[in-house]
Amino acid sequence: MKTVRVAVVGAGVVGFSTAVCIVEALPICSVTLLAEKFSPDTTSDVAAGMVLAEVFPDIPLERQRRWFKDGFDHLLDIAQSEHAPEAGVLLTSGCQIFKEVPAEMKPFWSDIVIGFRNMTDLELKRFPNHKFGQVFTTLKCECSIYLPWLEKRFRKAGGRVEQRKVNSLQELSNNFDIIVNCTGLGSRTLVGDNQVHPIRGQVFKMEAPWLKHFIRDGDGMSYIYPGIHSVTVGGTKQVGDSRLQLDQGDSKSILERCRKLEPSLRKAKVLHEPVGLRPGRRSPRVDKELVELRGRQVPVVHNYGHSGWGVSFAWGTARDALGLVRQCLHEMPLQAKL
């Protein structure tokens, strides 16, 4: 019997991953996902969806490794299954190149991705402005395909979906026993977290079916990521900038930078130029607290602030959030569970 009512707020890659983890693991819970915006209108839909990462300064490295590995293994299983095309997940190979040799020559995820090695001098010759590079195979998760697929999986497991803006957690206190906050940038207003800020990202989606290998400049500013229906060419990382309109100056700069890396982009057709606001935070917040709502102590689990790496870490932090919901269940008074 479903006796504990859980609300997951947010329908981006973090919200749907968390909602699926909870509904599939905890039959005692009835799970409702509420969100103002759904695919294709979330930040997650704009993401290139490459499974890569940079280090978050406040999270123990072992925890970040676990998040990354959980996400990688989960998406690899999908990529190697019959569900790959309808889930929008694929294996992708390519290189990450650096103008200067980086301090960390082996990122913490180097033994989780497949076939990680340094580039040879011969391979680097193609990029005369770069001194160092790495070659590897990772995953690309295309959220405009993946999110509808996760939603189906969530509904099939008994989850319910409601489109609505939540103006304050108080609104949920009468109808839910546990609230899971996966609102990304929305957490700035919903839970008053001033650490959360927008990091603007503008990209091109281009038609260039001859491109099969990704190229990423290690500074994270320029990248070419071939996908299922298009190639994502970017980008920008404008901290504190919340403009969703296209910036022609950014378009010009992206084309200049990326054509230097891949001259054949001159022949590519521009499909569209989306803009998204990453939920910037020094490190993601994945924890729980008791919040007094209308005179009741309500457990709230937070899972937001993944900055530029939400697709890579979504499944890993979702599993941590599931663990926190389990703890909430153990700590709840007995009558709430009956």
Residues making contact with ligand FAD (CB under 6 A): 9-15, 34-37, 42-44, 46-50, 165-166, 182-186, 190, 201, 203, 234-235, 276, 278-279, 304, 306-312
Q: Are 220 and 209 in contact (CB under 8 A)?
A: no
Round to whole Å and give the CA distance between 232 and 238. 18
Task: Give the tokens for residue 192.
Answer: 């008053």
Least separation in angstroms between residue 33's CB and ligand FAD is 9
Least separation in angstroms between residue 232's CB and ligand FAD is 7
CA neighbor of 149 nearest in space, from 94, 104, 198, 89 = 89
Q: What is the DSSP letter of 59?
A: S
Least separation in angstroms between residue 274's CB and ligand FAD is 7
Round to whole Å and give the CA distance between 213 and 224. 8
Least separation in angstroms between residue 39's CB and ligand FAD is 8
- How many other β-carbons are positioned within 10 Å of the β-carbon of residue 118? 12
Task: Give the tokens for residue 91.
Answer: 């294996």
Round to whole Å and give the CA distance between 183 and 176. 17
CA neighbor of 72 nearest in space, from 235, 322, 312, 240 = 312
Nearer to ligand FAD, 230 or 329 (CB): 230
Nearer to ligand FAD, 30 or 312 (CB): 312
Nearer to ligand FAD, 38 or 98 (CB): 38
Least separation in angstroms between residue 125's CB and ligand FAD is 27
Least separation in angstroms between residue 196's CB and ligand FAD is 10
Round to whole Å and give the CA distance between 119 and 60. 29
Round to whole Å and give the CA distance between 268 and 283. 36
Least separation in angstroms between residue 65's CB and ligand FAD is 15
Nearer to ligand FAD, 24 or 54 (CB): 54
What size, in residues, is the chain? Answer: 338
